Structure 1
Amino acid sequence: MKIGEICNRSVITVSTDASILEVAQEMRTHHIGDVVVSESADGVEKPIGIITDRDIVIELVAEEVTLDTVNVGDVMSTTLVTAPHDADLFETLRFMGIKGVRRIPVLDDDGGLYGILSVNEILGVLTKELSFISEVSERQIARERSSRE
């Protein structure tokens, strides 16, 4: 399965000059834990960073920084880990584990933002697959029982 098939295509983006307060409000409004920081280059929206709710809490709130004085560019993670939309799901999952990230921007063929993949989407797919396995086992048992009657 390719990650482009399961990633969230509705990605909230901001520029580096957005305030942290604006980002926190976007996260609250959209019930999300991350916002991709992007810039437009040749008509393509390219991700250049990411900021998470955890970044805001650990880097700013815990340090008692006044949120309306800080911009996204001051705090965002710039060592952005990305994956192409046609990457294999399980290879991407291993890659995310190696890099220690729970969310990864997904890129289109031009390096533009295609979507975002989080462990939540991956868990959803795995849960569905596991339920299929469980169903197979249950049907096998039911078939064996009916053949003995």
Structure 2
Amino acid sequence: MKLTIKDCKLREVISCDNTEDIVTVAKKLKNEKQRHIIVTEKDKPIGIISTTDINNRVVAENKDLKKTKAQSIMTSKILVKDINEDLVQTYLEMIKDNIFSCPVTTDEKLIGTLDLKEVMNHIVKLKPEK
């Protein structure tokens, strides 16, 4: 049985514009009780910020939270997947690149976020083909 991303439960998209300040970004993460936020430009995903990124790239470096913009601390190497893509291949790509969360699209429209934990829950249920 071939699984696709469509078989997984996606998280609601939590996003911010690339020009938003880190205070705004951190508040969105806190209010939504999330650890990752998708950074967009003209509604297209261009990066991701984690709570760890905020700590390591802003707080630990004593940067001004109100002047620092999302685009300056985001991880720009992101994996964007279509909802119809193969789940096992997606899992392998996420593991290879140490990615814990990736934006998911359909017809190039951002529809959700796929977490590595959700992918792993589906992968372990697969039975080896004989």
TM over 0.5, yes or no? yes
* Alpha-carbon separation, structure 2, partners of 1:32 and 1:94: 24
More helix by share: 1
Q: Identity percentage over the alignment?
A: 27
* Alpha-carbon separation, structure 2, partners of 1:22 and 1:102: 22
Alpha-carbon shift at residue 98 of structure 1 (Å) = 1.4
Which string of whole-angstrom CA distances, capped at 9 and with x for unpartnered residues, describes residues 33-64 of structure 1?
Answer: 11111133xxxx32111111111111111112
Alpha-carbon shift at residue 24 of structure 1 (Å) = 0.7
* Alpha-carbon separation, structure 1, partners of 2:44 and 2:11: 14
Out of 74, 77, 87, the residue aligned to residue 85 of structure 2 is 87
Q: 1:1-149 residue pairs with structure 2 within 5 A? A: 1-40=3-42, 45-109=43-107, 111-126=108-123, 129=125
* Count of aligned positions: 125
Long gaps (5+) in structure 1 = 134-149
Paired AA for residue 32 in structure 2: H
Which string of whole-angstrom CA distances, capped at 9 and with x for unpartnered residues, describes residues 47-96 of structure 1?
Answer: 11111111111111111222122111111112222111111111101011
Alpha-carbon shift at residue 9 of structure 1 (Å) = 4.5
Which string of whole-angstrom CA distances, capped at 9 and with x for unpartnered residues, describes residues 108-146 of structure 1?
Answer: 12x22121111222244356x38xx8xxxxxxxxxxxxx
Long gaps (5+) in structure 2 = none
Give the TM-score of the pair, scaled to structure 2.
0.84
Alpha-carbon shift at residue 102 of structure 1 (Å) = 0.9
